[in-house]
């Protein structure tokens, strides 16, 4: 890389960190020290820029390696940072756009009612991790009808729905409320494990609030997957495009 561009990147990173630190300082009331409490964690989606993460104290690689998590930090959303998962300002020069695409899957919940359990499926937020079709193919198929709620035991279906990282799958037992969250999970962001040869989104769990540009809420208030490759059709949520663009993060192992 030419010397000029190396200097440019260094300056850009310094400016970005000053902005983040200043934001933390003034949002927390200057020199007044405030405690971080449960329920304050949030991720704010910025226009054509990074995810601004507040008070999420745990950031992990796919293998469980703990990464530095500052009270306020900027995580890469464009997929181009040379310092993943942190933003290095690359979005300002690679043409990254945070808008949703018109040909995205519709954000709509489809209900599949069985004898002993009802399954809810929102393909619009599915990250296509493939756990459902790979591990419980008698219930989750690759063609219409997509879901057979009587295809396996209730216990197996519940376990699979609770494993769904995006919140696309949820369930309801007779005479009970719909369940689309898993209790008692520490708020954290984890880089998703490699699937089918490519890296995927940020797995967000523990009830971290995601503040989107258009006010759209995650399907589950407890967990969701946020695009990390920069190509999702349903930003900020993952739509599985990382597989199509062959997204790789060599450090995420």
CATH number, domain with residue 143: 3.30.70
Q: Domain count of the chain?
A: 1
Residue 119 belongs to domain spanning = 109-172
**63 in a structural domain:** no
Is residue 199 within 8 Å of 191, Cβ to Cβ? yes
pLDDT by 10s per residue, the chain, length 253: 555 544 554 455 555 555 555 444 444 334 333 333 446 899 999 999 999 999 999 999 999 999 999 999 999 999 999 999 999 999 999 999 999 999 999 889 999 999 999 999 999 999 999 999 999 999 999 777 889 999 999 999 999 999 999 999 999 999 999 999 887 789 999 999 988 879 999 999 999 999 999 999 999 999 999 999 999 999 999 999 999 999 999 888 6
Is residue 235 within 8 Å of 99, Cβ to Cβ? yes
Task: Tell me what pLDDT residue 207 has.
Answer: 94
**134 in a structural domain:** yes
**65 in a structural domain:** no
What is the reported pTM?
0.84
CB atoms within 10 A of CB 198: 15
Q: What phi and psi values does residue 4 have, to the nearest 5 degrees? A: -60, -45
**86 in a structural domain:** no
**103 in a structural domain:** no
Tokens encoding 174:
């007779």
Task: Tell me what pLDDT residue 252 has.
Answer: 81
């Amino acid at each position: 890389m030419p010397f000029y561009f190396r200097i440019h990147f260094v300056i850009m990173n310094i400016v970005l960190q000053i902005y983040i630190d200043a934001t933390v300082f003034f949002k927390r009331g200057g020199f007044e020290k405030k405690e971080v409490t449960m329920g304050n964690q949030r991720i704010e989606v910025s226009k054509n820029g990074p995810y601004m993460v507040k008070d999420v104290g745990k950031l992990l690689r796919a293998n469980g390696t703990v990464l530095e998590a500052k009270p306020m930090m900027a995580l890469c959303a464009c997929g181009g940072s040379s310092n993943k998962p942190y933003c290095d300002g690359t979005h300002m020069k690679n043409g990254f756009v945070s808008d949703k695409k018109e040909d995205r899957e519709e954000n709509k919940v489809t209900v599949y009612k069985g004898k002993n359990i009802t399954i809810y499926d929102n393909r619009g937020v599915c990250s296509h991790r493939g756990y459902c079709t790979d591990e419980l193919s008698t219930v989750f198929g690759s063609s219409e009808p997509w879901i057979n709620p009587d295809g396996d035991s209730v216990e197996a279906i519940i376990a699979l729905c609770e494993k769904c990282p995006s919140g696309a799958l949820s369930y309801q037992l007779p005479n009970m409320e719909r369940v689309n969250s898993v209790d008692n999970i520490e708020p954290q962001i984890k880089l998703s494990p490699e699937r089918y040869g490519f890296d995927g989104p940020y797995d967000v769990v523990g009830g971290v609030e995601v503040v989107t540009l258009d006010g759209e809420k995650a399907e589950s208030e407890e967990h969701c997957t946020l695009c990390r490759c920069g190509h999702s059709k349903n930003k900020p949520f993952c739509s599985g495009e990382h597989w199509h663009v062959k997204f790789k993060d060599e450090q995420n192992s």
